[in-house]
Amino acid sequence: MNYNNLIKWLQGDNFNDSQLHIGTFINIDYIQAAIGKSFQIIFAIILMYFSVKIGNHLIKKFVEKQVKSNAMLSLDPQRAKTLGEVLKSILKYSVYFIGIGIIVSILFSGIYFTFASIGGIAVGLGAQSLIKDLINGFFILFENQFGVGDHVTLGSFTGIVKSIGIRTTVIKDFTGDIHSIPNGSISGVTNHSRNDIRFIVDVNISHEEDIENIIENIKITCEKFKDQNEEYINEPIEISGIKELGVSSVTIRVVGKAKPLNQWKMENELRKAIKLALDKNKAETPLG
């Protein structure tokens, strides 16, 4: 706006408001349009946020109902939790995809078809890995290869499955590290949670001891140990026999099976129980 036009406007002379400019480059119509778009974008973001929050709450209620239900068609707790994580993932990606589409349409309502086509091709090329992740994730869920809470090995990663999404699987290893693995990169799955896991206890005894008496003592100890830990051990603990004849010792191998993720605990406690039993019977163990 030049100086003369400003004087006329202040004096009330006929002056077209559409000619009013702030500086040389900023137009009031542009400012009004920008403010309007800003409010629309903020509203879209708020709507996305509450859609995800409310959806996650409803999914959580559904999972809790399935876990507590004893109905014939209800899901078992593990599958219910797995389905819940998948539904949350689908909800999140759907809301974000639709929301970003709305925001882009608000910002670029006048975008030319050519530029839109170029953008669509770029997105299509970049989405190839995403489609691979989605397809592989679908087969993982459909074939029930693993579920939330399972102890698995996926490639070079071993840990507990924390969540399964339509694109990624998250596992927590035994050092506490979290690994997010794209489903498309999972080429092999080892599930350690579908059957009881073997544990081994090797007992070293001096050559001077009566081996038959020691084995009988260990057998009685194993039977008592199983009775005390029926919630973890379903099968009898077996004594495989003499594993090794060393220079100063005889090694007796004891083999048992425990429920998944309890094998290390059972192994340590059985080793302790056998040690106490041998000490009670004053059995000699080699020093080296």
Give the CB-side neighbour count of residue 174, counting CA atoms within 13 A: 7
97-116 per-position pLDDT tens digit:
788 878 877 777 655 444 45
Burial class (CB in 10 A: 0-12, 13-18, 19+), 141: buried
DSSP assignment, residue 59? H
pTM: 0.59
- Residue 146 pLDDT level (bands cut at 50, 70, 90): confident
Across 260-270, average pLDDT: 92
Across 237-252, average pLDDT: 87
In 3D space, the residue among 107, 120, 101 whose CA is nearest the CA of residue 47 turns out to be 101
Sorted by sequence, the CB contacts under 8 Å of residue 39 that are 6+ apart come out as none
Round to whole Å and give the CA distance between 189 and 35: 52
On average, the pLDDT of the chain sits at 79
